[in-house]
Structure 1
Amino acid sequence: MTFLNRLKLCVMMFLQFFIKGAWFVTLGTFLIHNLKTSGTEVGVAFLTQSIGAIIPPFVIGLIADRYFSAQYVLGVLHLAGAVLLWRASEATAFQGFYLCILLYMILYMPTLALANSICFRQLKNPDKEFPPIRVFGTFGWVVAGVTIGWLGWEQSGQLNLTFKMAAVASGAVGLLSFILPKTPPLKKGEKGGLGQILGLDAIRLLKNRSYLVFFLASIALCIPLSFYYSFTNPFLNEIGMQSAAGKQSLGQISELLFMVLMPFFFVRLGVKKMLALGMLAWFLRYIFFAYGDVYANYWMLIAGIVLHGICFDFFFVIGQIYTDKQADIRFRSSAQGLITLATYGIGMMIGSLISGVIIDAWKRPNGSHDWTTIWMIPSAIAGIVLILFLLLFREGKVKEQAVPTLKTV
């Protein structure tokens, strides 16, 4: 692959995650302060991510596998998304905002799998070549957060501008997509049964017992993940950590570091050990949160945040690479949609539904929470998933598949 095409993929990844980092982190604050919503409405808004991750990625993966080049599908989705984000920025009531953001997430979530698929199709050795490209996505998320803080939109009540900023970025990656390396459908013109037409080929991966174990583990592990995304910031603020949001950025910095180091670890550890280390990191993170405080055990809080790099990179990014290796070259876009369905769809939805209930159940009369008990619950879930994974998963060997030669632009 040429340097120019590699640069295009890096910019694509940067913008792909800059978009979400520009508005998703401050979504709750925007809804409560700008649209005067209730906590329940905030939860409903966050659930749009799971709704967008359940069916759409699989369907869009089918389209990219069978009918249209993946880079063109990606471009159309982001251009349409730019319009919806701009409309969301101008909403004055929750109902209008919710409709825009629901439609947007239905379009955006499939782009995560498409972006991965486009990269994997161009790379000869994804184990080593994908992490240095994917790291630009994390960098984009960090830049978005730093930009919002630097401009002071939270303090000035101008968080509606985050959606405009994200809309501009979405339009930019939409246009960029049309000059990305060509990624034509590999099953175009093929005839087959109903299952093939509907793009259900990717489900065949679940016939592999080890992949089924990984798939179910992905769903289960995203339940404790929901606790982290939804309640870490309220937890840190409640126990008295100063500049909690700024401290949390250490997690993204850690993610950047481990993304760069991932090829080094992958060669020496392999898929199973890296996935297991990712699960172990989730287990330890919540232990640290359960027993950490802003006094003698302050280091536990910082350690729990910094573990984000291992938590995310070693499980989710390695899982994407593992999925690409296991899938037949003809339905790899659908396969990436399948793992998106498991994680951001089913797993995060279950986690979003039960985490709030657990938080309320351990709320004290004075308004504070029994955080030790609360954090031990996702820790226990992660620990059980880790044990079952180690017992049931077998890495095995992957048969190398020839990928058709692609013409580059």
Structure 2
Amino acid sequence: MKSAVRVQLSFMMFLEFFIWGAWFVTLGTFVLKNLQDTSATQVSVAFLTQSIGAVIAPFIVGIIADRFIAAQVILGVIHLIGTALLWICSGMTTFDSFYPVLLVYMILYMPTLALVNAISFRQMSDPSKEFSFIRVFGTVGWIIAGLLIGWLHWEKTNSLDLTFKMAAAASLLLGVFSFTLPKTPPSKKGTKVSVREILGLDAIRMLKNRSYLLFFLSSIAICIPLAFYYNFTNPFLNEIGMDAAAGKQSMGQMSEFLFMLVMPLFFARLGVKKMLALGMLAWVIRYTLFAYGNIDTNYWMLIVGIVLHGICYDFFFVTGQIYTDKIAGEEFKSSAQGFVTLATYGVGMLIGFLISGPIVEAYKTSGGHNWQTIWLIPAGIAGAVLVLFMLFFRDNKVDKNTVVKH
């Protein structure tokens, strides 16, 4: 890969995840504090927009990017529209007005996660070695967003509307920059579109591979407890009195950055199964630390739980993206990335978002929440998924016999 292309892809990843991290980490706190008369259940409903967007993502990416319009053009148009939607979100004061705008934005944004991966993979000869060094700049973007929020004290001063404005500015920049990215034309342009492909069923062919089917089901299941983290970590840390919680949470992305750099080494030595299993085990440990951590004597547990994010995210999600790219083969790389987004950010987290809000609401107390019981619930779910995964997943070597035939 040429150095100029590497720089372009790295900057693309930086902006893509800066935009997301700029408002997403503090969304729960924004809903509870900036909008009128809201509850934990409405926090879950707000986060649910991510899952709705992820469910739709394979249809947008698989149909349009694989057949009609170049991926970098779609990416640019979506982020330009997103600029206006994020700015509108910043001025909302009621949940009823905020929710539909956020929903439209996430329906547009979630497909871009697959698009940036597809654009990157098309420029690489060996994604298992090259992708992590590009993707790591997305982590840097998320870190800087969190540090800025903490440094500017937007949580403490109840100024989280500014997070959406910051994200809008970055979205405008990426929207314009996208049109300069390497051309990523549709791989099946000019061919006949069948009903099967319109429904996104081409990528489902990957499920004929037994190992991939088990990975897909595990991805759905592990994202149920993951939803608890996204929904309520920031409100939890703010409620128990952690100063600059969003800034502290960025240590998780710093850990992600470090593990991303050494992922090729781990991938070569451990293989897919062990990488995925370690990622799931880290989730079990993290939630247990949150359950027993506090702002005084067990403050270290909170910090370690945050720092474990590097293993939690990289070993499961990035490994899964690489694994999916190999299984999919050349012809349907874009729709394949959209498909794994459907499993993780879509179906799995949709279930998690639906159950996490009512659970947190059920353990509400006069002084806040019973966080120990709340966090032990996702710890138990993650532990059960890990055991089942270890028993049934087979780490078959990906070769010409395991790649999906189209």
Cα deviation 1:255-308 (Å, max 9, x = unaligned): 111111111111111111101110111111122223334454433322221111
Post-superposition offset of 1:373: 2.8
Q: 2:257: which partner in 1?
A: 256
Q: 2:404: which partner in 1?
A: none
Q: 1:406: which partner in 2?
A: none
Could you tell me how far apart the structure 2 residues matched to 1:245 and 1:192 are? Answer: 45
Q: 1:208-287 residue pairs with structure 2 within 5 A?
A: 208-287=209-288
Q: Does 1:352 align with 2:349?
A: no
- SS at structure 2 position matched to 1:342: helix
- SS at structure 1 position matched to 2:395: coil
Q: 2:46: which partner in 1?
A: 45
Could you tell me how far apart the structure 2 residues matched to 1:174 and 1:31 are? Answer: 27
Q: 1:1-150 residue pairs with structure 2 within 5 A?
A: 1-39=1-39, 40-150=41-151
Q: 1:142-181 residue pairs with structure 2 within 5 A?
A: 142-181=143-182
Post-superposition offset of 1:173: 0.9
Post-superposition offset of 1:355: 1.4
Q: 2:387: which partner in 1?
A: 387
Could you tell me how far apart the structure 1 residues matched to 2:250 and 2:397 are? Answer: 37
- SS at structure 1 position matched to 2:183: coil
The code of the aligned residue for 1:397 comes to: K
Go from structure 1 to structure 2 and tell me whether the alpha carbon gap of 1:156 and 1:288 turns closer, same or farther (over 3 Å shift): closer
The code of the aligned residue for 1:108 comes to: Y
- SS at structure 2 position matched to 1:329: coil
Go from structure 1 to structure 2 and tell me whether the alpha carbon gap of 1:268 and 1:3 turns closer, same or farther (over 3 Å shift): same
The code of the aligned residue for 1:387 comes to: V
Go from structure 1 to structure 2 and tell me whether the alpha carbon gap of 1:87 and 1:247 turns closer, same or farther (over 3 Å shift): closer
Could you tell me how far apart the structure 1 residues matched to 2:33 and 2:291 are? Answer: 30
Go from structure 1 to structure 2 and tell me whether the alpha carbon gap of 1:252 and 1:399 turns closer, same or farther (over 3 Å shift): same
The code of the aligned residue for 1:69 comes to: A
For the 8 Å contact 2:58–2:200, the answer to whether it is kept is no
Could you tell me how far apart the structure 2 residues matched to 1:54 and 1:197 are? Answer: 14
**Which segment drifts farther, 22-31 or 329-338?**
22-31
Could you tell me how far apart the structure 2 residues matched to 1:59 and 1:127 are? Answer: 26
Q: 1:366-381 residue pairs with structure 2 within 5 A?
A: 366-381=366-381
For the 8 Å contact 2:285–2:305, the answer to whether it is kept is yes
Cα deviation 1:340-370 (Å, max 9, x = unaligned): 1111111111111111222233344x43444
Count of residues in Structure 1 that have an aligned counterpart in Structure 2:
400
Q: 1:405: which partner in 2?
A: none
Go from structure 1 to structure 2 and tell me whether the alpha carbon gap of 1:31 and 1:384 turns closer, same or farther (over 3 Å shift): closer
The code of the aligned residue for 2:394 comes to: R
For the 8 Å contact 1:35–1:93, the answer to whether it is kept is yes
Post-superposition offset of 1:320: 0.7
Q: 1:404: which partner in 2?
A: none
The code of the aligned residue for 2:35 comes to: L
For the 8 Å contact 2:273–2:394, the answer to whether it is kept is yes
The code of the aligned residue for 1:20 comes to: W
- SS at structure 2 position matched to 1:36: coil
Could you tell me how far apart the structure 2 residues matched to 1:262 and 1:10 are? Answer: 17
The code of the aligned residue for 1:255 comes to: E
Q: 1:207: which partner in 2?
A: 208
Go from structure 1 to structure 2 and tell me whether the alpha carbon gap of 1:234 and 1:152 turns closer, same or farther (over 3 Å shift): closer
Post-superposition offset of 1:197: 4.6
Post-superposition offset of 1:93: 4.0
The code of the aligned residue for 1:385 comes to: V
Could you tell me how far apart the structure 1 residues matched to 2:360 and 2:31 are? Answer: 20
For the 8 Å contact 1:57–1:111, the answer to whether it is kept is no
Could you tell me how far apart the structure 1 residues matched to 2:171 and 2:369 are? Answer: 39
Go from structure 1 to structure 2 and tell me whether the alpha carbon gap of 1:378 and 1:41 turns closer, same or farther (over 3 Å shift): closer
Post-superposition offset of 1:249: 2.3
Could you tell me how far apart the structure 2 residues matched to 1:46 and 1:285 are? Answer: 21
Cα deviation 1:111-155 (Å, max 9, x = unaligned): 001111111111111111111111111110111122223334334
The code of the aligned residue for 1:63 comes to: I
Post-superposition offset of 1:82: 1.2
Cα deviation 1:145-180 (Å, max 9, x = unaligned): 222233343344443232222112111111111111
Go from structure 1 to structure 2 and tell me whether the alpha carbon gap of 1:236 and 1:98 turns closer, same or farther (over 3 Å shift): closer
Could you tell me how far apart the structure 1 residues matched to 2:99 and 2:292 are? Answer: 37
Post-superposition offset of 1:393: 1.3
TM-score by length of 1: 0.91
For the 8 Å contact 2:36–2:93, the answer to whether it is kept is no
For the 8 Å contact 2:146–2:249, the answer to whether it is kept is no
Could you tell me how far apart the structure 2 residues matched to 1:60 and 1:138 are? Answer: 23
Go from structure 1 to structure 2 and tell me whether the alpha carbon gap of 1:142 and 1:358 turns closer, same or farther (over 3 Å shift): same
Post-superposition offset of 1:17: 0.6
The code of the aligned residue for 2:16 comes to: Q
Post-superposition offset of 1:331: 1.2
Post-superposition offset of 1:12: 0.3
The code of the aligned residue for 1:398 comes to: V
For the 8 Å contact 2:59–2:199, the answer to whether it is kept is no
Post-superposition offset of 1:232: 2.3
